[in-house]
Amino acid sequence: MARSKSSRRWLREHVTDPYVRLAQKHGYRARAVYKLLELQERDRLIRPGMNIVDLGAAPGSGSQLASEILAGRGRIVALDILPMDPLPGVTVLQADFTTDAALQALHEALAGAPVDLVMSDMAPNISGEPAIDQPRAMYLAELALDFAGQVLKPGGDFLVKVFQGEGFDEYLRLLREGFGKVAIRKPKASRPRSREVYLLARQRKL
Active site residues: 161
Q: Rounded distance, CA 90 to CA 78, Å?
A: 7
Strand partners, 80: 94
Dist CA 22 CA 18 (whole Å): 6
Residues 65, 28: contact at Cβ < 8 Å?
yes
| CA atoms of 81 and 83, how far apart (whole Å) | 7
Which residue from 41, 36, 83, 38 is spatially nearest to 63, judged by alpha carbons? 36
Q: Which residues pair with 197 in a beta bridge?
A: 162
Count of helices and strands (H, E) across the chain: 7, 7
Judge whether 173 and 144 are in contact, CB under 8 Å: no
**Cβ(161)–Cβ(122) under 8 Å?**
yes
Of the chain, the end-to-end C-alpha distance in Å amounts to 51
